[in-house]
Structure 1
Amino acid sequence: MSGGLSATARMALLARLSKRRGGEAPRPEAGSARDFATLPGMRDFALLGTALDSLGLESPLFQQHDGRAGAHSRIRGREVVNFASYDYLGLNGDPRVQAAAKAAIDRYGVSPSGARITAGERALHRELEAALAEWHGAEAALTFVSGHATNVTTIGHIMGPRDVVVHDAAIHNSCTEGIRLSGARRIPFAHNDLAAAERELAGARRGAQRALLLVEGHYSMDGDSPDLARCVAIARRHDAWLMVDEAHSLGVLGRGGRGVAEAQGVDPAGVDLWMGTLSKTLAAGGGYIAARADVIDWLRHTAPGSVYSVALAPPLAAAALEALRILRAEPERVARLAANGTGLRDRLKARGFNTGGSLGAAIVPVILGSSVRTARVAAALLERGVTSQVVVFPAVPEQSARLRFFVSAEHTPEDLDRAAEALSEAVAGAGRVESLPAGLVG
């Protein structure tokens, strides 16, 4: 099968999809406003699952890990080398981080039981925020219950219908959702094309009240970074704020793991809003914004994700704070991560794999093409004891489906060798290129 499914095969898939519904609860009449099948993408989602079934492929998503998913893990009782985790420095299993979380539970309980503005806060919250602000060279910081919620509530709150947001096309979903919530005009530019970013910002700025230039410090899909100094200059020339999402940069870029500003020797004061997560390097959960003190105080008292949301759980705040202390004291972890990231990227490139623009830091994509082929390779890779993240349509265009390898400071050279060898074998055994039905991706 090549270039898509035949009309006969497509009809068979649709028939199978219809049969699967036979034993389910009665559904509203087709076309009814109560029919969930009218939701955007619902039919294509179901068809994708049926296509995988017809090809004898299990979904590569939602793999169940039996314990801590560090550089090594167990999936359904089987030992694997794990490249699907954001535990970049291996701190999720560090006894000091775990002890800090347990001590916080003993003192404060598991939950803060309300929003900080009304139910009160814990000393941990302010201590963590002060440490995060210092880390980014900012005056203050504010934590939220998730990284996704951080971007949604912050962007949705600071921007409005008379404003414009110019952003990299590869920006995270949380950012685009925040822009959508704000009602601001949204203008994407081609990934890392800062000349295009400036053209778009210059053209849109004249008719907007406020403008925001939005980029990531380390792009999770491609493993590359923007030219931060140039971003600062563009934002200043056009009287715009600059926001940098450092979710995958903290603990990864720069000799000390302070992110893209340290890595590129740029004064962090040139960035108006630093965003980051606690769920990756810092081995907890949640997100934060670091900025000027007056901005943070305003967000603390007015942002919906702060005022109307429960506060960060005490054990998570304590774990993140301890992880940040370890990161500051043990920069050698960052050096090991950098060596492993470069080592895996170079091993894969030497075998002819397309790793895109990866810096070889913590994220190494392998672009394979079709979603079906990528799913086949992922399954074959897992059979060989190696797991990675799978990105298929519609998260990326159909011919840009890929595996993403997230590297840890805990990986060994033998792990990197095994991953490269296993991927070569998996791709060789995947057969011809197969595509999803043309009508599904067209």
Structure 2
Amino acid sequence: MSTNKAPKLLSTSERQAALAAVRRKKNTTQHTTPPNMRSAEAGPRPAPQFSALPGFQEMRLQKAAADLLGIENPFFRAHDKRAGATTQMDGTTYINFASYDYVGLNGHPAVIEAAKSAADYYGISASASRVVAGERPIHAELEAKVAALHGVDAAVAFVSGHATNVAAIGQLMQTNDLIVHDAYIHNSIVTGAKLSGAVRQAFPHNDFEALEAILASRAHKHDRVLIVVEGVYSMDGDYPDLPRLIELKQRYGAWLMVDEAHSLGVLGSTGRGLAEHFQEDPSAVDIWMGTFSKTLAGCGGYIAGSRDLVEYLKFTAPGFVFSVGLSPVLAASTSKAISVLLEEPGRVIRAQANGQYFLKAAQKAGLDTGVSRGCAVVPIMLGDSLKATVVAARLLQEGVNVLPIIYPAVPEKASRLRFFITSEHTHEQMDTAIAAIIKTLSDYEQDPISIAQLAGLMTS
């Protein structure tokens, strides 16, 4: 969308000015001497303040800005019941673009019935780590289905998608290893890499020439090398060139890990993900990771690959060995969700078609969709956190629920609205949303708000 005014981006100096204003309004007294610099004669050392933790003042700034503008916190909104293509909050129905339910399985009768039956038969909890007393037959059934879905030998299920990456990477890689990952990679992978102690280096998003340059200069210096990418990037809605990645990993003797959290059910003719999309042999990828919380409408994560990989993680990964097993209720519902995904391929076809419809309609309207390829995730790039937050709040007033993605989740100038497009959205709902975006952005540009103005209000 073209406008007469350029968006007012948040500069570092403006953010610092506003932060200073927030600090001046605080009624607490700051220590003039750091606690760890006090002498023993000065008496007991006071505990540090939680408000001094990194990022705390940024959080306060965002809240102060929202309060001054009369905007309710867009996060932690309570939904009255199941959220799908529409949702209900405080008794009002909205078109919903803030839920992962990519192929509409969250409310599928067979998936719900599987959960109810498992609760009756197994109870709610696995009651212990699966290593000692928490194993149930439904866990093995789920893992066999995940392995078959990916076309590999075996799989292991974890209780959390985030913890899956942290535990697996943290255990597989060591201090003398190298981890090379896409710059847009998920926080869980960065956290796992830090835990491992391995050398970590990012390459520019989907820039495989840069990746090859890193491998050529550094791979031979390390015992093991791990390349990590996402199947569909959760903030951007695009995907990597898998054949090129396989060629590079084979040439430099590296492991290749693909995080399929947002690509399962979204890519490939039957929703099996990146390998099916490119018609590549799944065994050419060493580590397949995925979550149960997006397409499969559950909670948890998994690693799939060779039997040696899976056996090693089952006996050594702290996030598996020292954690309670996945709830039998979730294992059963997720297992049934996989069956439904394969039995009802029309869901994948609709999800893919809807993603393309929304992407093309948004682009036709002049909206900036970044690098998205219409794979379930379509961002509308807005340029600064304040603008994204204000526009999202005004869209809610127009009946459209979409969340702003703001700093520090993304760089300040890359703040956006993130739309999740599912098989259940109608063309009318998507058209309504795009019209609402155009109206809301037009209204905003008539009276834009800068963070410098907010800083002035804070000190007035």
Cα distance in 1 for partners of 2:270, 2:188 equals 27
* Ranges in structure 2 where 5+ consecutive residues have no aligned partner: 1-6, 36-46, 456-460
- Say if 1:370 and 1:433, in contact at 8 Å, map to a contact too: no
1:86 is the counterpart of 2:95: no
The corresponding residue for 1:14 is 23
The aligned counterpart of 1:144 is: 158
Residue 311, structure 1, aligned to residue 325, structure 2: yes
The equivalent position to 1:232 in structure 2, one of 246, 251, 254, is: 246
Report the counterpart of residue 416 of structure 1 in structure 2: 430
From 382, 385, 392, the equivalent of 2:396 is 382
Deviation at 1:295, TM superposition (A): 1.2
Q: 1: CA distance between counterparts of 2:15 and 2:214?
A: 42
Equivalent in the alignment of 1:325: 339
- Distance apart, 1:39 and its partner CA: 1.5
- Structure-2 separation of matches of 1:7 and 1:179: 31
SS in 2 for 1:14: helix
Q: How far apart are 1:12 and its partner, in Å? A: 4.1
Among 344, 350, 353, the residue aligned to 2:364? 350
Deviation digits for residues 398-427 of structure 1, max 9, x if unmatched? 111001100111111111111111111111
1:221 to 226, 232, 235: 235
Q: Of 253, 276, 282, which residue of structure 1 is paired with 2:267?
A: 253
Partner SS state of residue 430, structure 1: helix
Cα displacement (A) at 1:360: 1.1
- Tell me which residue corresponds to 2:439: 425
Counterpart contact for 1:190–1:196, Cα < 8 Å: yes
Relative to structure 1, is the Cα distance of residues 104 and 237 closer, same or farther in structure 2, using a 3 angstrom cutoff? same
Question: CA offsets, 1:371-393, max 9 Å, x none?
Answer: 11111110011111111121001
Whole-Å separation in 2 of the counterparts to 1:152 and 1:48:
29
Counterpart-to-counterpart distance in 2, 1:77 and 1:30: 52
Instruction: Note if contact 1:112-1:311 (Cα within 8 Å) is conserved in structure 2.
Output: yes
1:181-237 per-residue CA deviation (whole Å, 9 max, x = no partner) reads 000111001011111111112222121110000000100111000000100111111
The structure 1 residue matched to 2:147, chosen from 133, 144, 152, is 133
Q: How does 1:98-177 map to 2 (within 5 A)?
A: 98-177=112-191
Q: In structure 2, how many angstroms separate the alpha carbons of the residues matched to 1:124 and 1:214?
A: 30
What is the aligned-residue RMSD (CA, Å)?
2.1
CA deviation digits over 1:313-367, x for unaligned, max 9?
0010001000000001111000011111111111111110011121112111110
**Aligned residue for 2:72?**
58
Cα distance change, pair 11–151 in 1 and its aligned pair in 2 (3 A): closer
* One-letter identity of the residue aligned with 2:24: A
Counterparts of 2:87 and 2:32, CA distance in 1: 46
Aligned to 2:4: none
Contact 2:155/2:305, CA 8 A, preserved across alignment: yes
- Deviation of 1:7 (Å): 8.8
Alpha-carbon distance, 1:51 to partner:
2.6
Residue 435 (structure 1) shift? 4.7
- Asked if structure 1 preserves the Cα contact closer than 8 Å seen for 2:165 and 2:189, the reply is yes
Give CA-to-partner distance per residue, 1:82-129, whole Å, 9 cap, x none: 000000011001111010001000000000000010014110000000
Q: Percent identity?
A: 48
Q: Any unmatched runs of 5+ in structure 1?
A: none
| C-alpha distance in 2 between matches for 1:436 and 1:30 | 31
Distance 1:174 1:346 in 2: 31
Superposed displacement of residue 29, structure 1: 8.0
**Alpha-carbon distance in structure 1 between the residues aligned to 2:78 and 2:146:** 32
Cα distance in 2 for partners of 1:427, 1:85 equals: 23
Output the CA distance in 2 between the equivalents of 1:297 and 1:217. 24
Distance 1:168 1:115 in 2: 33
Question: What CA deviation, in whole Å up to 9, does each residue of 1:22-52 have, x standing for no partner?
Answer: 9xxxx98874352222322222222232233
**CA–CA separation in structure 2 for the residues paired with 1:222 and 1:146:** 22
Instruction: Give the aligned residue type for 2:440.
Output: A
SS of the residue aligned with 2:382? strand
Matches of 1:421 and 1:55, distance apart in 2: 24
The residue that corresponds to 2:355 in the other structure is: 341
